[in-house]
Amino acid sequence: MRRKLPGEGRTAVLFLAPLFLVYALYFAYSFWFLIGTSFTKVSIGFSNAVAVGWKNYRLLLTDPAFLTAIRNNLLFAAASIAVSLTVAFAIAVLLASGIGGRRLYYAIFLVPALTPIALVATVFSRMLQYQDGALNQGLRAIGLDGLTEHWLTDSGWAFLAVIGLLAYLIGLPIMYYTADLAALRTDVLEAAVLDGAGPLLIMRNVIHPMMRSTHITVTLALLLGSFRAFEVVLLSTGGGPDNTTEIVGTYTYRFVTSAGSTIGYASAASVLVLIVAMLVSVVQVLVTRTKRGASR
């Protein structure tokens, strides 16, 4: 290993300091500008701003559409978490056990996780179109015309369609689990096998408890990611029909792109989401730090 030269670390810091300084200033300015705008009534041109105090926040917290968006965020997160803690965990265990067809699993679950989410959502939306979507075309081809549905424009099916897409994007949890499964203590697993425990018993009573910190990390990551599911909803259902699949991101987007002095209102919604996201991020960092400390 190459020895570190005296002053080498200091030189690296000096080179990186301007970049970090510019980033910190940009973040601080954007943050305070967003907060300041949330207390005003102003249009997209940011001219003739009128201070309105806490009015935007009061209107926001009493708007049924915003409360529906919050509820949908939590429901979508709950669906993703439920699938990840069960299906993704089981797939990761199978991959770690050396099951055949690993490349097929990677192609089905990991490639979509590494593909831009906007592209995945667009393909998903095209597949579920009523007239020429792949799903309805396939049903018609085998004589099941009666099973075709307006998957993205019917309120019930649209909600389930978004949940289905979010539940399918479990590549990241699989990678989390696969990495941590590789670091498990083999002596504990060998002892369980010697005691006569079967695969299901080992997974439930040995592996699952040992992965508790990973379960928490995955849960927090998906909860945070639910507030970033903007592309999934916008490019599939657009938040409709009738706000059925509306989330905070699409709710805010509607007010940013609408005519009128609604930028302050949209900023207030963004501030609330930012606060929630920061709280979840802090908890995630603390859990990760605790996990690293316990593994030493």
Q: What is the pLDDT of residue 39?
A: 92
User: What per-residue confidence (pLDDT) applies to 7?
Assistant: 55
Q: What is the CATH number of the domain that holds 261?
A: 1.10.3720.10
Residue 244: which domain range? 67-295
Query: Mind listing the pLDDT tens digit for each residue in 215-226?
Result: 888 888 888 777
Question: Residue by residue, what is the 3-state secondary structure of 31-64?
Answer: HHHHHHHCCEECCCCCCCCEECCCHHHHHHHCCH
Write out the E strands in the chain.
40-41, 50-51
Which of 8-17, 126-135, 197-206: highest mean pLDDT?
126-135
Tokens for 53? 């105090």
* Residue 6 belongs to some domain of the structure: no
Residue 203 lies in a domain: yes
Specify the amino acid at residue 67: L
Tell me whether strands 50-51 and 40-41 are parallel, antiparallel or unpaired.
antiparallel
> What would the pLDDT profile of 44-83 be if each residue is shown by its tens digit?
777 778 888 899 999 998 999 898 998 898 888 888 888 8
Asked if residue 57 is part of any domain, the answer here is: no
Do the domain assignments include residue 176?
A: yes
The confidence score (pLDDT) of residue 138 equals 92
Number of structural domains found in the chain = 1
Question: Is 108 a member of any domain?
Answer: yes
Mean pLDDT in the chain?
Answer: 82
The verdict on residue 44 lying in a domain is no
pTM of the model: 0.78
Contacting residues for 189 by C-beta, under 8 A, at least 6 apart: 202, 206, 207
- 173 in a domain, yes or no? yes
- Asked whether residue 77 is domain-assigned, the answer is yes
- Of residues 227 and 16, more confidence is placed in 16
pLDDT at 100 over 80: no
